Amino acid sequence: MERRVRVLFVEGDDDPTAVSAERLGDRDGIEVEGVAGWAAAGDVELYDCVVTNHALSDGDAVEVVRAVGAAAPRVPVVLYTAVGDERTAREALRAGAADYVVACGSDDRSDGGTGESAGGADAEEIADREAATLERRIRAAVSGGDRTVGGLTPTERVAELESLDRLFRHDIRNDMAVIVGWADVLRDHVTEEGEEILDRILDNGRHTLELTDVAGDAAATITDEAATAVEPTDLGEALREAVQSRREAFPRASIELGAVPACRVAANHLLGSVFRSLLNEAVSNYRGDTPTLHVSAERDGETVRVRVADADSDGAGVSAEPPLGTGTDLERSDADIDRYLVERLVGVYGGEVRVDDGAFVVELRARD
């Protein structure tokens, strides 16, 4: 028989979760005390776990996570919300939350937990299912199953990822740069037959250097708050830098830059990385012998569209399988880091990426 778990449930009136403190307390083996806001909480050390909504009358869940960490560091906090987003989840986990549970958004508190005001039997079923999920996550947090991985808390895992990012960007990149440099020096010392092999070594070395940059930027979207902050960003500068760097990276490809409106878009300092990765995808997915690409942008009201297309009007264009913009599962063996970076950051910017008539299209919001 599972032991009884004492839970403090910090509820927020503006967070319409399907499960209230009352409904959670109906679960066998769960003893719940509900409080309206963090200020009403008593001695946290009396509980095995704290569950908190995000939108509270006197603050938010991240503040609760920090307060519990200071007062009772051994008590796990599970954030349960219907109004949070990726930034909320990241900030809460960085602050030390044990878990983050997304609610369906059907508030059962207006009817005493019956679920009738949220749609009858369907709402009742949803709330029961969600209560079961929440109980499992609470028990996992209390037992330490989700609270630690390899003995590390979520905050420690983020710190370790940041350290690995620095290692990846600095140590590995520096060693690879030395390898590429010395390989290039060998050009004057190889025979004509050996030049093809040397070119392969240099191409693979430069590709590895490129991967360290892309992987570092991808890691930053998880560990660095600045990577997901959005601000007005010069579109032309980011496109020109990206096109120039891809011309150097792919000397056999032809990459033209057409007209670009003078405007700023909702993005950040990683916008150039988005376009570099998009061009990497276009080159690798070009449906012809020698990539010939045309990059252009146009503004339509408050929307700016960047298009990467086949420069040959009779060409087959570019493609992506699965289609670009449908999500990238990093657990797949064939996961593409460029694709992940493009989709992740364009999503953060509030934009859209897709394949349209044999071209890659990125839509961004104008921010003049």
Q: Which domain holds residue 56?
A: 5-147
Query: Looking at residue 4, what is its pLDDT?
Result: 85
Q: Are residues 142 and 163 in the same domain?
A: no
Q: Are residues 20 and 75 in the same domain?
A: yes
Per-residue burial over 282-305, b = 16 or more CB atoms within 10 Å of its CB, e = otherwise? bbebbeeeebbbbbbbebeeeebb
How many residues in the chain? 368
Residue 220 CA from chain centroid, whole number: 9
344, burial (CB in 10 Å: exposed 0-12, middle 13-18, buried 19+):
buried
DSSP per-residue letters across 228-255? G--EEEEHHHHHHHHHHHHHHH-TTSEE
Task: Output the domain CATH number for residue 41.
Answer: 3.40.50.2300
Q: Using DSSP, state whether 98 is helix, strand or coil.
A: coil
Q: Are residues 83 and 217 in the same domain?
A: no
Secondary structure letter of residue 46 according to DSSP = G
Q: Are residues 87 and 204 in the same domain?
A: no
Q: Are residues 257 and 159 in the same domain?
A: no
End-to-end CA distance of the chain, in Å? 62
Q: Are residues 11 and 104 in the same domain?
A: yes
pLDDT tens per residue across span 57-80? 999 999 999 999 999 999 999 999
Query: Looking at residue 305, what is its pLDDT?
Result: 96
Q: Verify cis geometry, omega within 30 degrees of 0, for the bond prior to 73.
A: no
HSE-CB of 266 using CA atoms within 13 angstroms:
16
Total domain count for the chain?
A: 3
HSE-CB of 10 using CA atoms within 13 angstroms:
33
Query: Looking at residue 328, what is its pLDDT?
Result: 56
For the record, the structure tokens of 241 come out as: 């830098």
Q: Are residues 17 and 137 in the same domain?
A: yes
Q: Are residues 91 and 21 in the same domain?
A: yes
Rounded (to 5) percent helix, strand, coil in the chain: 45, 20, 30
Q: Are residues 143 and 24 in the same domain?
A: yes
Residue corresponding to tokens 């010939």: 292
Q: Using DSSP, state whether 340 is helix, strand or coil.
A: helix
> By the 8 A CB rule, do 221 and 267 touch?
no
For the record, the structure tokens of 302 come out as: 């408050």
Q: Verify cis geometry, omega within 30 degrees of 0, for the bond prior to 291.
A: no
Q: Are residues 354 and 233 in the same domain?
A: yes
Residue corresponding to tokens 């009403």: 40
> By the 8 A CB rule, do 253 and 246 touch?
yes
**Rounded to the nearest 10 degrees, how much is the dihedral formed by the CA atoms of 188, 190, 196, 201?**
-80
Task: Output the domain CATH number for residue 350.
Answer: 3.30.565.10
The whole-angstrom separation of Cα 298 and Cα 156 is 44
Query: Looking at residue 281, what is its pLDDT?
Result: 85
> By the 8 A CB rule, do 14 and 123 touch?
no
Q: Are residues 116 and 237 in the same domain?
A: no
Domain boundary among 96, 124, 147: 147
pLDDT tens per residue across span 147-198? 444 455 555 666 666 666 666 666 666 677 778 888 888 888 888 888 888 8
Query: Looking at residue 322, what is its pLDDT?
Result: 60
Query: Looking at residue 312, what is its pLDDT?
Result: 81
Q: What is the pLDDT along the chain (368 residues), one digit of tens a residue?
A: 456 899 999 999 888 898 999 999 999 889 999 999 999 898 999 999 999 999 999 999 999 999 999 999 999 999 999 887 767 887 888 888 988 888 865 444 444 444 444 444 477 888 888 898 899 889 988 886 444 444 555 556 666 666 666 666 666 666 777 788 888 888 888 888 888 888 888 877 877 777 777 777 776 766 666 667 889 999 999 999 999 989 988 888 899 999 999 999 999 998 999 999 899 888 887 877 788 999 999 999 999 999 999 888 777 667 766 666 555 554 444 457 788 888 888 988 999 999 888 889 999 999 98
Instruction: Please provide residue 302's backbone torsions phi and psi, each rounded to the nearest 5 degrees.
Output: -95, 10
